Structure formats: C-alpha cells, structure tokens
Amino acid sequence: MSTEEKVLPLDRPELKEQYENFIGGEWIAPTNGKYSNNISPVDGEILTRVPKSTAEDIELAVSAASKAFESFKNTTVVERSTMLNKVADAIEANLERLAIAETLDNGKAVRETMAADVPLVIDHFRYFASVIRSESGMVADLDPDTISQEVHEPLGVVAQIIPWNFPLLMAAWKLAPALAAGNCVVLKPAGPTPMSILLLMEVISDVLPAGTVNIVNGPGAEIGKVLATHPDVKKVGFTGETTTGQLIMQYATENIIPSTLELGGKSPNIFMESIMDADDAFFDKAIEGLVLFAFNSGEVCTCPSRALIQESIYEPFMKRVLERVKAIKLGDPLNPTTMMGAQCSTNQKEKILDYIRIGKEEGAECLIGGEAYDNPAHPNGNYIKPTIFKGHNKMRIFQEEIFGPVLSVTTFNTEEEALEIANDTMYGLGAGVWSRDAHQLHKFSRAIEAGRVWVNCYHLYPSHASFGGYKKSGIGRETHMMMLNSYRHTKNILTSYNKNALGFF
C-alpha cells in the first residue's frame, strides 16, 4: 500500500437539513417560505437547503442593519478591535470544520482551504483589528488660530455581494474592513456557495452585536437590484463579472453612493530566460509559479492564465513544467493529498469545456489535459484536467477569462515584446514576473498595467498589501488598511479660535 492510499478523506461536518437567513442576530425563514437546494460540486449531491429570498427579506435585513448601526456607529475603536479579534479566535477554533465546509460548497481541494482560505480569513480579521488601534486622523495648523481636523466616520449600512470562488475569504475581505470602520452589513453570498458563510455566522454570531452582519441568500435577479438600489444602503462592494459590475455602478448612481468593484482578469505570468541560469531552488519556484494556474482549480480572478515565456528557454522550461503538471493529483477534494479539486458548478465545467473546444478550433496546440476528468471518487462531480494550450495572444483563450485550470502559453523574444503582450488585454488585475535580473524585475513591475504585480512569486494574498484592478478589472482596492477609507466618510472639522469677524459684512 502506498502512502497516498493510507490518507483518508476528512470527515464531513454535520449540516442542518435547512438553513435560514441571518437577520438582526437571528435565524429567520425567508418571507415567501421558499428554499433552494445547495448542491456540492464535489459529488453533485444535495448538501442542505438555503432560503430563496425576495425583496421583502432584503427590506428586513437593511432595516435590521440600520437599527444596529444606531449603536454600532458609537462603538469605540477598542470595542471593535476586540470584537474582530474574537471573530478571528472563533474561526480559528473551527478552522477544520469551516475548511471542509468550504471544500464541500465550492469544490476546491481541502489542502487549500486548510492552508490558505481559512487561515487568510482569520488573518484578515486580526489585521483590521490591529490597524484601527494604530491609526488616527489628521490635524493641520492652518494658521495660529485655525485648526483643521480630518476625522473618519462610518458610512452606515453597506451591501456586499460575494463571489463563489473564495466564499469565506471574499466575505472576510469585505466584512473585516467594513466592521472595523464601524459599518453594518447586508451580505449576499453567491448562489452556488451559500453554505460555508452560514456556518461562519454560526461560529461568530455570539461575538457580533445583533444586526451588525446580516446574511440573505437568494437569486441575484430577485434580490440583487433591490439591495444595490436600497436608499438606506450607503455603499456596495461587489466581486464578480463585468456586466454586473457595470450594473452595480449604474445602480450606485441612483443614490449617489460609492461602489467597489473587483471584476475579471487575464493575468500574464512572464518568465525571462535568466530563470534557467541555474537548476536550483529558485528555478523550482519558478516552475511552481507557472503551475499555480491550477490553484483553486483555476477559479481565481488573478489566475496566472497567460504564461509568457522567453523563446530561448521555451523547450527546456516547458518540459519541466509539463512534468510538474502531470504530477498534479486529482481525486477526492476532501482527501488532504488531492492537489486540485472540482469546478464550482456543472455550468462552470461546461463553460470551461466550451473554451477548451474554442482553443482547439482556433488552432491552439493542446500540450496537456484538454478534457474533463472522470473522477472515480465522485463520478457526478465537476472535474477538469489541468490544461495547457500554446498559441498567440489574439486568440480568445488568451483574451477571455476562462475561470478554470486552463493556461494559455505563448513566447516572446525581447522585453518590449513581452510587455506589449502582457498589456494587450482588457484586464489589469494581476501579473507575475520571474527573473534573476533586478533591473528587469523593476522595469516590468512598473510597466505592467495591473493592480498587483507579483515579483518572483505568485498567488500570495497578505492582508497588509492592497489588491485591486486596473482597466476593466475593477475600481477600488481591497485588503490593506487603505481599504478602511473606502468604508467611511472623511469629515473635515475646521475650527477657528480667533474672536474677530472676517470683515466682509
């Protein structure tokens, strides 16, 4: 028996047959009494049922959040920081349960949810708990008698619409700064992944004052518009695709409120010839850096889905890359040895297969994969083999976000050519550059039009580094303490200590 066979899948957490909306600190059934089945992409089985809410439920949630805000806005920084640390502690105490729930809900491999998703969730709450203790507003002495104070005040009730690729982490990215800044939240999880966030609420509900966080599940067509246009909602944070992003901005104009949009990407990952100057630890890291297109089954808005490889190293580098891709172990996402799990839904799997078909029709050369994976552990799950195409940057598979484990590879000869290809995209979310030449790294990291450039690394998401897009990848930033200002007003208090009139009238 091999070592791998000895590792058993992790036990599934016990789930209720049915979950409710979480409104005003209580579990409330949807007004219309309707529910949807929550289907796991791991095996196509029903996990539980969740509310299929309507406008009435959004009204209840916004009303509960507005009520809670009346007292929450007056909480001290110390109180909110302590609360966020308790949230982090509660999640940490339930790390494995939440990680397995996330795997069941989304399909991603449990080794990722255990090592990345949930630990990052915990860290985001701790980060925002700490930064609000160490920051302060600004004061300027404008003249000997006039003082200008810039103080911050929360916006009020904010709406947050969460994607399905990192349900818990994207919720944390939005919840932590919003709560740290003193807002109350109405959050809509994504349709395919409603469950893990509800389990999260079970874990943290005791720590949060009633009404500060409200969760409403339901179809975007029923509840999205009413939430985003609600006159009592003071900001909308959205992560998802471009047309809904445009719609969110359009809705935000109705009430003159800000919106933060984190949309798609088609991130270039650039490999310069110097990476092969030695066959050492760094070269090994660079190979992994390319293979990270398969991280989270490729369902990442910053997926390094375009690899740009210098022509001079293409053959030997790709040989090593393909060996590494062949070694990606597919299987039961709940088994800690499985390296790549399921795609999030049947429709997503079909969409990826459609792009694989388009790639082949466009004349791209399929180097590995290129088809669905029949998973013996779960024949009814949604699995795709990690796939690499070689082609050119004008092909659709190089320009459109596939949101799956499909990498499009092309080559370049000069730095200028590499930069031209890298920036020839509608998007500007992530980018990677790999080289042993410090000057080249600096040149590329500044010249690439993207909100996050990973230099000699990829797919790291520390809370203390800002994240967001250029071009059609969105507006606004997430993570980093600068995010606090997108969840609060700046109020200027201008005080005169001069007793004399201006003299105009």
Helix locations, 135-241, DSSP H: 167-180, 195-204, 220-228
Q: Which is nearer to other proteins, 426 or 457 (CB)?
A: 426
Q: Where are the beta strands (DSSP E) in 344-483?
A: 365-368, 387-390, 406-412, 427-428, 430-434, 452-455, 467-468, 470-471, 474-475, 477-478
Q: Which is nearer to other proteins, 211 or 476 (CB)?
A: 476
Angle of the 242-255 helix axis to the 220-228 helix axis, nearest 10: 40
Full DSSP string of 30-50? -TT--EEEEE-TTTS-EEEEE
Distances (CA, A) of 428 to 139, 163, 262, 335: 36, 19, 11, 35
In the complex, the smallest distance separating the C-beta of residue 385 from other proteins, rounded to whole angstroms, is 20
Which secondary structure element, helix H or strand E, spans residue 23, and what is its range? strand 21-23
Q: Which is nearer to other proteins, 220 or 336 (CB)?
A: 220
Instruction: List phi, psi (to 5°) of 228.
Output: -70, -20
* Count of residues making up the chain: 505
In the complex, the smallest distance separating the C-beta of residue 307 from other proteins, rounded to whole angstroms, is 17
Q: Which is nearer to other proteins, 53 or 274 (CB)?
A: 53
The strand pairing partners of 239, in sequence order, are 262
Work out the end-to-end distance of the chain between its first and last CA atoms, rounded to an integer number of angstroms.
94
Full DSSP string of 325-342? HHTPPBS-TTSTT--B--
Question: Catalytic annotation on 92?
Answer: no
In the complex, the smallest distance separating the C-beta of residue 396 from other proteins, rounded to whole angstroms, is 5
In the complex, the smallest distance separating the C-beta of residue 225 from other proteins, rounded to whole angstroms, is 6
Q: Provide the pairing of β-strand 477-478 with 452-455.
A: unpaired
Neighbours of 363 (CB within 10 A): 10
Question: Catalytic annotation on 262?
Answer: yes
Catalytic residue among 301, 303, 344, 401: 301
Catalytic residue among 262, 299, 401, 478: 262
CA–CA gap between residue 205 and residue 385 (Å, rounded):
39
Q: Which is nearer to other proteins, 41 or 304 (CB)?
A: 41
Binding site for other proteins (CB under 8 A): 36-39, 41, 161-165, 188, 190-192, 194, 219-222, 224-225, 239-244, 246-247, 250, 263-266, 299, 301, 344-347, 350-351, 354-355, 357-358, 361-362, 394-396, 399-403, 426-427, 472
In the complex, the smallest distance separating the C-beta of residue 163 from other proteins, rounded to whole angstroms, is 4
Q: Which is nearer to other proteins, 399 or 456 (CB)?
A: 399
Q: Where are the beta strands (DSSP E) in 228-344?
A: 233-239, 259-262, 268-271, 306-310
In the complex, the smallest distance separating the C-beta of residue 322 from other proteins, rounded to whole angstroms, is 26
Q: Which is nearer to other proteins, 41 or 289 (CB)?
A: 41
In the complex, the smallest distance separating the C-beta of residue 436 from other proteins, rounded to whole angstroms, is 32
Active-site positions read: 262, 301
